[in-house]
């Protein structure tokens, strides 16, 4: 489970990595301990790439109470099509959650030890994500997201049994394309 992550990289580097203009990132301060329920930067692409701030913890549009999102910070890749909360966003509300590292905690018997995980290059990356828009009875809107998790890679496996799905550059466009329906891409 991914419960904390970071986005500390320089705006210029982030703009280069995701083909954005630095002005689109002006509101993003460095964040060293991003937690559930905070506003997080997500990349949307329709028709042009843009970054928006969404609440971390997906609130399905049909929810009666927004606190359901408090428990939906992550979505298991293996069950996306089975869960009503994720099925519709999987079809047409995909995003990249921008990050440059994440934390996982290893159970060491007497307690848990946090590990900080990032790319060797220290470059920013995008977690595969889903988003939703929820309106409360007074008409105000909350846009929220969840990070998709999957099997860990070889390095993370020794720390935790899950990890966020990090999309390589060549898979990002496919993921954000709403005409694609297979979650394995």
Mark out the alpha helices in 19-168 (DSSP H runs).
Answer: 84-92, 154-157
Question: Of the candidates 4, 2, 13, 3, which has an alpha carbon nearest to the alpha carbon of residue 122?
Answer: 13
Sign of the CA dihedral running 11, 8, 27, 66: positive
CB 127 within 8 A of CB 164: yes
3-state helix, strand, coil in the chain (%, to 5): 25, 40, 40
pLDDT of 185 over the 70 cut: no
Which pLDDT score is estimated for 137? 85
CA distance 80 to 135: 23
Q: What is the pLDDT of residue 183?
A: 47
Closest CA to 98 of 179, 23, 178, 30: 30
What is the set of active-site residues? 2, 104
The per-residue pLDDT for range 91-132, each reduced to its tens digit, is: 999 999 999 999 999 988 889 999 999 999 999 999 999 999
What is the per-residue pLDDT for 115? 95
| Per-residue pLDDT tens digits for 53-89 | 999 999 999 999 999 999 999 999 999 999 999 999 9
d(CA 100, CA 144): 20
pLDDT above 50 (res 134): yes
Cα–Cα dist 118/185, whole Å:
22
Q: What is the mean pLDDT of residues 6-30?
A: 91
| Residue 181 scores a pLDDT above 50 | yes
Alpha carbons within 13 angstroms on the beta-carbon side of residue 160 total 22
């Amino acid at each position: 489970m991914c419960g904390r992550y970071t986005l500390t990289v320089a705006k210029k580097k982030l703009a280069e990595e995701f083909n954005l203009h630095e002005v689109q990132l002006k509101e993003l301060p460095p964040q060293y301990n991003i937690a559930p329920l905070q506003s997080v930067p997500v990349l949307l692409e329709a028709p042009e790439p843009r970054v928006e701030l969404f609440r971390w913890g997906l609130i399905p549009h049909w929810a009666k109470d927004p606190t359901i999102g408090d428990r939906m910070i992550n979505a298991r890749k293996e069950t996306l099509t089975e869960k009503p909360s994720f099925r519709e966003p999987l079809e047409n509300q995909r995003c990249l959650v921008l990050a440059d590292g994440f934390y996982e905690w290893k159970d060491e018997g007497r307690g848990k030890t946090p590990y900080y995980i990032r790319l060797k290059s220290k470059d920013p990356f995008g977690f595969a994500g889903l988003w939703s828009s929820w309106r409360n009875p007074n008409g105000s809107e909350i846009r929220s997201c969840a990070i998709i998790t999957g099997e860990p890679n070889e390095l993370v496996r020794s720390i935790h049994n899950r990890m966020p799905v990090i999309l390589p550059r060549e898979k990002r466009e496919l993921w954000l394309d709403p005409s694609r329906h297979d979650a394995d891409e």
